[in-house]
Amino acid sequence: MAVSDERNLLAQDLHDSIAQSLAFLNLQAQLLEDSLRRCDMSEARDTLAQIRDGIQESYDNVRELLVHFRTRIKQEDIELTIRSSLERFESQTGIRTSCKVSGTGVPLSAEQQLQVLHILQEALSNVRKHSGATLVELQMQRDRSYVFRVRDNGHGFDPAALGDATGRHVGLRIMRERARRIGGQIRIDSRAGHGSELTLTLPITQQAAA
């Protein structure tokens, strides 16, 4: 992927994340103004708490995007980098994580590794923001293709019901674009009350590590 393409994806991700956060905060500010006009201090306190949460969410989103932007991987270190990302995720969120790696295969190219890591980080970000999970399991299987699975025990959702403007939909669109550019595919399996699973499948050829 060209450097300009990568920058465009990161810029789109940053724009979408900030735009959604600002729209939410603007709405909450209007609700707060209305509560104060009616002297409903109980409702005003609740709205103010949501504004604080929204600001913290915006901070967390920008911090994650900056981590993605700074990510650099040595070709032999993708497993180590994934485990490090999970440790950081668990430390920051309190959500337990596990990582299982199996099989052997042709090493991924540096570009494939970078895009895979971005996809996995976005999947973890969605878990943090939307799932209500207490556990995330990541599996990496290496064979004729690489298969990455991110599974959580959260409340789940109906993939068909995602609106174009939702944060989860925006993140999924960017993940699919990243996967497409390195020849991979993404599948989402989820239903209400039964958690979610994201699967990234990446066919590998002998030229992949070139």
How confident is the model over 124-153, as pLDDT tens digits?
A: 888 888 889 999 999 999 988 999 999 999
Query: Which superfamily does 75-210 belong to?
Result: Histidine kinase-like ATPase, C-terminal domain (3.30.565.10)
What band does 102 get if pLDDT is binned at 50, 70 and 90? very high
Residue 145 CB partners (closer than 8 Å, separation 6+) = 105, 201, 202, 203, 204
The pLDDT assigned to 152 comes to 96
User: How far lies 110's CA from each of 22, 79, 115, 117, 148, in Å?
Assistant: 35, 13, 9, 11, 17
Where in the chain are the domains? Answer: 1-70, 75-210
0.85 surpassed by pTM: no
SS3 string of 79-104? HHHHHHHHHHHHHHHCCEEEEEEEEC
Kindly indicate the confidence band of residue 179, based on its pLDDT and cuts at 50, 70 and 90.
very high
Comparing 10-14, 18-22, 94-98, 103-107, which segment has the lowest mean pLDDT?
10-14
- Cβ–Cβ under 8 Å, residues 50 and 10: no
